[in-house]
Amino acid sequence: MTRDELSKLIERREEGRAKQDQSILGEVRNHLLELLSYYPDDAEINYQTGIAHDNSGLGREAIPYYERALELGLSGPDLERCLMGLGSTYRYWGHYQKAVETLRRGMSEFPENRAIKVFLAMALYNSQSYKESVELLITNLMETTSDEKLHYFKRGILAYNEDLDEIAE
What value, to the nearest 5°, has the Cα angle with vertex 124 and ends 123 and 127?
90
Which amino acid would we find at residue 65? Answer: Y
Predicted confidence at residue 166, as pLDDT, reads 83
Predicted confidence at residue 3, as pLDDT, reads 83
pLDDT tens-digit profile, the chain (169 residues) = 788 899 999 999 999 999 999 999 999 999 999 999 999 999 999 999 999 999 999 999 999 999 999 999 999 999 999 999 999 999 999 999 999 999 999 999 999 999 999 999 999 999 999 999 999 999 999 999 999 999 999 999 999 898 888 887 8
Predicted confidence at residue 150, as pLDDT, reads 94
pTM of the model: 0.89
Residues 6+ apart with CB under 8 A from 31: 1, 5, 9
Predicted confidence at residue 91, as pLDDT, reads 97
Measured CA distances, 99 to 93, 151, 152 (Å): 9, 32, 35
Predicted confidence at residue 168, as pLDDT, reads 79
Helices (H) and strands (E) in the chain, counts: 10, 0
